[in-house]
Chain A
Amino acid sequence: MKTAKHIIIFLLLVFIGDQIISAVMTSLYKGLITGQSGGKTNYLLNNYKQVSILAVGNSRCAHHVVTSELGNNNYNLSHNGMSLIFHAGLINQLVNNENLAIDTILLNLELTELFYPKTPSERDIQHLKYYYDKNEWIKSKINRLSYFENVKYLFSSYKWNGKIMSITNNRIKSKAHAIPADGYVSRPATTRDSINVVSSINATKGANNNALAPSINLHKQKLIEELNELCKSNNITLLCFISPILNPIPMEGRDMTLQKYFKSIQVPLYNYYDVVNKNQELKSYKMWSDHAHLNHEGAIIFTKIMKSDLQSN
């Protein structure tokens, strides 16, 4: 009896604490308009009813696609360091659960991710765990992470696990600092850029073709196809692109594999991975802040190239 009483009091207090934390975090989250912990998404939903082009991807989309250069009413909803499953989950949430009309989705894909030779971990979907109860697709992907993953969500504050500090920090920042209206995050050119580029190229010297598979990862194919289906059924045009890199490894037939695959699923792919081999301006170290990220000057040039390609197709 004593034990039962002890357990009940303990669980009851944990439950009350859990509910309080969850309520406080939900309220903080709603006021976020900056940062990767939901702020960028909130900003989009608070300020747009309709977007013409929604650019989605990782930091190589966030800093490369100057959405305002592509035309009016575009938004760059990229999240640094996130893989395809995160972007697919976010798009799914926006299309299915939010009041936002989207004409075109411009999805950034990573070559290293597409040709990843092993089963990907897909843990990035956890960064969308605050949509767990709201989005079945996200819920199903999270539940697949481990056999008892759903048990963790019996506690509502778990949805905020790992995000408390960033949400609090971004909530404070939200009062003073707003995201640029088109979501693009510029990296202004600095005098240190060339030094950073050289050191980051040196740091990636070990990378080679052997780390990549010759064919597209089946898990990634499935995600792209699911996304394509979602877009088709909601009359959204899906366009994919691969961002440029300063020191591309040889494609060795992978370009053909990509074109063949994307043609088969009827999704246009714009592959700029090794565009530096064709464009002298982008080859200059002055256009980069490191080997994988263009600075603002580089981003403007790249976006113009992309705009011209989009218009000609």
Chain B
Amino acid sequence: MLFNSIDFLIFFCVVALLYFASKPKHRWILLLACSYFFYMYWKWEYIILIIFSTGIDYMVGLKMSELETKKERLPYLLVSLFSNLGLLVIFKYLDLLTFTFNELADTSIPLADLILPMGISFYTFQTLSYSIEIYQGKIKCERHLGKFALYVSFFPQLVAGPIERASSLLPQLKENKNKFQYNNFVNGLTQVIIGFFKKVVVADTIAIYVDTIYITHDSQTGFTLLFATYLFAIQIYCDFSGYTDIAIGCARILGYDLMENFKQPYFSKSITEFWRRWHISLSTWLRDYLYIPLGGNKGGKTSMYRNLIITMLLGGLWHGAAWNYLIWGLLNGVYLAIEKKLKYHSFIEKQSMLIKGLSTVLVFHLICFTWVFFRAETFDKAISIIDKIFTVEYFFNLEIRDTSVFATIVISTALFFLLEVFVFKKLNLRDPNPEQNRVKLIALKVVLSLFILIFGISEGSQFIYFQF
């Protein structure tokens, strides 16, 4: 079920009403049933994969909790790793592997061409984090199968995160004693409406322009392609952070606290800072379960640079089975390694506001450069786009295409930028007493709702991160 659909709004209102009307001890049943329904609404067969992943990690957790040492627990961790990563390999990477093998060995093994289960990278990483943390002795296993299943499939964050840690979400799901609270409702509703605004007004309108320009890249000028890439940077941020806002807002209305996933990343002064503010749940996951186990920054500078690049490379691969995602990850890894080498992050923190501002512009452009690889479907296409952007003779002239769409993009992006700088930055959506900002919150919700009504794309387009 798509968040940006009337179906979801009705679904969520029904779930919220039933949730607060039911007895706390039965709420996990309601939420689990609703979460499975939410997923099955898209493609019912694929619920089997979630059940499989849940079953494996539940059993692995129970077994590991009976064992004293890490050495004894290791085989069970490997079972979890192989099962979850196996699912990912089969459904996400099999075709890439087969294709690469065919190319290298000059064979013609047919591609499996399986439909990618929505959100598979998110829920497998979430269950993996549970098993890894039990293996590390950080948390105890969950003995209640139903509540564990709910942790894996909790609908607000099931298909595109945030990738929650068991130590944060499981205790909340176990408690289930949330009462309806005014502050949760007001803050949650505000965040949901902000999320819808970002998705259906900003991201989906920009998508109309960016999609057309990237499809017809051969006949576009460098400036048009550069402009479309800037817009794509805004589109992907609004698309993904919009989803996250809706997820966090819905969970908050029900009384659950999900982690922040974005902290205005395009205002970062360094790439290091960018990755602390962009898709935080994935970057911390990769840090804790990949970068640190690889050795982190403990084995000398060379191994630290290597670890950074490997981590980001695999982070790129997490997004999709394509070479352009690998290059996207590699570029980010190289950026981070260079920054470490130059100690840029600590250097820039000590500079004047002007230098910091210039650095923010530089970081935005470096990130936009990586987005070209992320957005272009193939490596050749990305190179052709970059070539045009950097070739003066192909550069000038801006293709506007549909003036109405372009004007809507300008207005919605300008409003979004103003809100991001002057409102969202100061808005505390965890405020336990939102009553003091009541007028401001209502005004914000009304303005954004009207924008959604008249400018929002209502055709329910997918969130970009659903494909990962």
Chain A residues within CB distance 8 Å of chain B: 2-3, 6, 9-10, 13-14, 17-18, 21, 123, 146-149, 151-152, 155, 157-158, 160-166, 169, 199
B residues 399-428 near A (Cβ < 8 Å) are 403-405, 407-408, 411
User: How far in angstroms is the closest Cβ of chain B from A28?
Assistant: 12
A155, B7: Cβ atoms closer than 8 Å: no
- Residues in A neighbouring B403, C-beta threshold 8 A: 165-166, 169
B442, A10: Cβ atoms closer than 8 Å: yes
Known A123-B459, A148-B10; contact A157-B442, beta-carbon cutoff 8 A: no
A166, B404: Cβ atoms closer than 8 Å: yes
- Residues in A neighbouring B449, C-beta threshold 8 A: 14, 17
User: How far in angstroms is the closest Cβ of chain A from B351?
Assistant: 41
User: How far in angstroms is the closest Cβ of chain B from A286?
Assistant: 22
B408, A17: Cβ atoms closer than 8 Å: no
B442, A146: Cβ atoms closer than 8 Å: no
A161, B455: Cβ atoms closer than 8 Å: yes
Residue of A nearest to B219 (CB): A199
Q: Which of B185, B407, B442 contacts A169 (CB 8 A)?
A: B407
B67: Cβ under 8 A from any A Cβ: no
- Residues in B neighbouring A148, C-beta threshold 8 A: 5-7, 10
Residue of B nearest to A20 (CB): B450
- Residues in B neighbouring A13, C-beta threshold 8 A: 442, 446
B residues 447-462 near A (Cβ < 8 Å) are 449-450, 453-460
Interface of A: prevailing SS: helix
Bound Cα distance A10, B439 (Å): 10
Bound Cα distance A18, B407 (Å): 21
Known A148-B10, A165-B408, A169-B403; contact A2-B182, beta-carbon cutoff 8 A: yes
Count A-B contacts at CB 8 Å. 76
Bound Cα distance A166, B403 (Å): 8
B7, A157: Cβ atoms closer than 8 Å: no
B442, A161: Cβ atoms closer than 8 Å: no
A161, B454: Cβ atoms closer than 8 Å: yes
Known A161-B453, A164-B455, A199-B219; contact A169-B6, beta-carbon cutoff 8 A: no
B43: Cβ under 8 A from any A Cβ: no
A17, B6: Cβ atoms closer than 8 Å: no
A152, B455: Cβ atoms closer than 8 Å: no
- Residues in B neighbouring A146, C-beta threshold 8 A: 5-7, 460
Bound Cα distance A6, B449 (Å): 15
- Residues in A neighbouring B454, C-beta threshold 8 A: 21, 157-158, 160-161, 164
**Given pairs A6-B186, A157-B450, 18 additional interface contacts (CB within 8 A):** A3-B180, A3-B182, A6-B182, A6-B185, A6-B438, A9-B442, A14-B449, A17-B446, A21-B454, A148-B10, A152-B6, A162-B458, A163-B404, A164-B408, A164-B454, A164-B455, A166-B403, A166-B404
B445: Cβ under 8 A from any A Cβ: yes
Residue of A nearest to B452 (CB): A161
B450, A18: Cβ atoms closer than 8 Å: yes
User: How far in angstroms is the closest Cβ of chain A from B169?
Assistant: 25
Residue of B nearest to A12 (CB): B446
B288: Cβ under 8 A from any A Cβ: no
A165, B450: Cβ atoms closer than 8 Å: no
B175: Cβ under 8 A from any A Cβ: no
* A/B interface sample: 28 pairs, CB < 8 A: A2-B182, A2-B435, A6-B442, A9-B442, A10-B446, A13-B446, A14-B450, A17-B446, A18-B450, A21-B454, A146-B5, A146-B7, A146-B460, A147-B6, A148-B6, A148-B10, A160-B454, A161-B454, A161-B455, A161-B456, A162-B455, A163-B404, A164-B408, A164-B454, A165-B403, A165-B411, A166-B403, A169-B403
B453, A158: Cβ atoms closer than 8 Å: yes
Known A147-B7, A164-B455; contact A3-B450, beta-carbon cutoff 8 A: no
Bound Cα distance A165, B219 (Å): 27
User: How far in angstroms is the closest Cβ of chain A from B272?
Assistant: 40
Bound Cα distance A135, B438 (Å): 41
B453, A157: Cβ atoms closer than 8 Å: yes
User: How far in angstroms is the closest Cβ of chain B from A284?
Assistant: 24
- Residues in A neighbouring B446, C-beta threshold 8 A: 10, 13-14, 17
User: How far in angstroms is the closest Cβ of chain A from B394?
Assistant: 16
User: How far in angstroms is the closest Cβ of chain A from B109?
Assistant: 25
- Residues in B neighbouring A21, C-beta threshold 8 A: 450, 453-454
User: How far in angstroms is the closest Cβ of chain A from B388?
Assistant: 16
Bound Cα distance A208, B191 (Å): 48
- Residues in A neighbouring B453, C-beta threshold 8 A: 18, 21, 155, 157-158, 161
Q: Which of A3, A147, A169 contacts B404 (CB 8 A)?
A: A169
Known A148-B6, A152-B6; contact A17-B450, beta-carbon cutoff 8 A: yes
User: How far in angstroms is the closest Cβ of chain A from B207?
Assistant: 14
User: How far in angstroms is the closest Cβ of chain A from B421?
Assistant: 24
Bound Cα distance A123, B458 (Å): 11
